[in-house]
Chain A
Amino acid sequence: MRGRQVCWSDPKLRALAKQFIPAADEVWRLQHRKDLDCLFFQGFSEEGHYGGRSQPSSTRQGIYCCSPSGRFLGSVNTTDPRRMERMLRDALAKWKALPAKDRLLDYDPAARRDRIQRRAALYPKDGLALRVYSRDMPRPKVPADWRATAWNVDSFWVRKSEARTLLPARLGKGQATAWPAALAQRLVRHGFVDNVRGQTNGYRAAEVQIARIETTVLSIRGDLVAVRFDGTSRATTTGTWPKKGRYAGMAEHGPNSRGVQTRMVGTATFDRASGRFTAFELVAVGTRWGQTRYNFRQGDLDESPIGFALILDPEDPGNRVAPAEIGAYGW
């Protein structure tokens, strides 16, 4: 999260990245699964900065450089651009010193792509794929660092069969319907979460007090149905979870409360011919409070304004990332 602003917006690092083939990926899967790409990662990651470590955390997250053959060239986990620069330069020197015969795989990796299972394959290409952006709304006191402009993004996916249920069964101007409870809950549980500064947990179904979204037909022109959305949401939970310290051994466990409540308004256009939304904008604004272990809200526990913006996911098959909590979708 912070790395986007502090490291990968740095001109020197972006210039250095041109000498590599850059990739971003989710580390838990790479660390733990047995797919081809995961084994590839496991083949060099133990030579890196967190190699062999289990305390205070067993994560292997960070920046790694390797050859296409899987030879380790360097790694670091930092948001200090100059430390990152040193690691990249060192890795490039090692790459140049690596004998040509050791640099590449002796098979075509494209031919083995289908051995890899990823949840991005669940992308609802005939349904509704949205990006959910989150950001703090204007507030009186703003931290004088990266948190002032922090934002995040996740995905929200709706299958084709579900997408039609967001509209009234009978389409006519003024007709209205409530979103099916399961879909409204999916959005509130997994979309409206305080991930502005870093990843967080969603809510369990029982932790959603309000998930009401209504669709009203504004107009119909040919196959194009223009609609308006209005809604309210509230999800909150109390319990005991790590509230201080980023890692298990440092965590201070204690009673906690967290929540998000919003009001929503938006518009969309649904094309009856294709059965797809061709435009979609939904804004949800309200307040958040509390913290989770990794969302950098320490010292910012009181209610403060938050906003979410949902827009259509740009059609980019090479850049599809599944929703963070797609495991809870039941797909």
Chain B
Amino acid sequence: MLRTFLGAAAALAVSLTLLSAQAAEPEAIRNPKAALRHILPDKRDLVWTQVPWRATLWDAVIDANREKKPILLWAMNGHALACT
């Protein structure tokens, strides 16, 4: 009995929180293009990509050896060109 009640309460809680989320962002759902523009990076966000980062250290080793230049490595927990 208690388990059934708790289960129903949990389901109700999930529904209520979803409803509150739905109430919070109907504009973004009604106008997904505007939401997309807000979320995607703009020119200012992408200035750092003007540095021609190779996506792997070894790609840089290959190019640096050929071009006789030193290597600059940005090594992060999580790939620095993706989710870091």
Q: A residues bordering B, Cβ < 8 Å?
A: 1, 3-5, 7-9, 14, 17, 19-28, 30, 36-37, 40-41, 45, 59-68, 73, 88, 91-92, 95, 103-105, 108-110, 113, 116, 118, 120, 133-135, 137-138, 149, 151-155, 195, 198-199, 209-210, 232, 234, 261-263, 265-266, 281, 283, 285-287, 294, 305, 307-309, 311, 318-321, 323-324
Contacts and interface: CB of A to CB of B under 8 A. Distances in A.
Contacts of B64: 20-21, 67-68
Contact of B75 (A1, A64, A261, A266): A64
A286 B39 contact: no
A25 B73 contact: yes
A23 B72 contact: yes
Contact of A133 (B41, B69, B76): B41
Contact of A67 (B40, B48, B71): B71
A61 B80 CA distance: 10
Nearest to B47: A9
A261 B72 contact: no
Interface string B1-35: 00000000000001001100110110011001001
Contacts of A66: 70-71, 73
A180 B42 CA distance: 33
Contact of B52 (A22, A25, A28): A22
B45 to A, nearest CB: 6
A17 B29 contact: no
Contacts of A134: 39
Contact of A17 (B38, B44, B59, B72): B72
| Chain B interface category by residue count | 35 or more
14 contacts: A9-B44, A23-B55, A23-B60, A24-B55, A26-B77, A28-B77, A30-B57, A68-B61, A199-B77, A263-B22, A263-B25, A283-B39, A285-B28, A307-B39
B55 A307 contact: no
The 7 closest A-B pairs by CB, nearest first: A23-B60, A8-B48, A20-B72, A24-B80, A154-B83, A21-B64, A309-B39
Max chain A C-beta neighbours (<10 A), residue from B47, B61, B62 = B61
Given A24-B79, A37-B57, A263-B29, A104 B68 contact: yes
Contacts of B36: 281, 283, 309, 311
B38 A137 contact: yes
Contacts of B54: 21-24, 318
A152 B50 CA distance: 17
Contacts of B50: 14
Given A68-B64, A68-B71, A199-B83, A40 B57 contact: yes
A287 B21 contact: yes
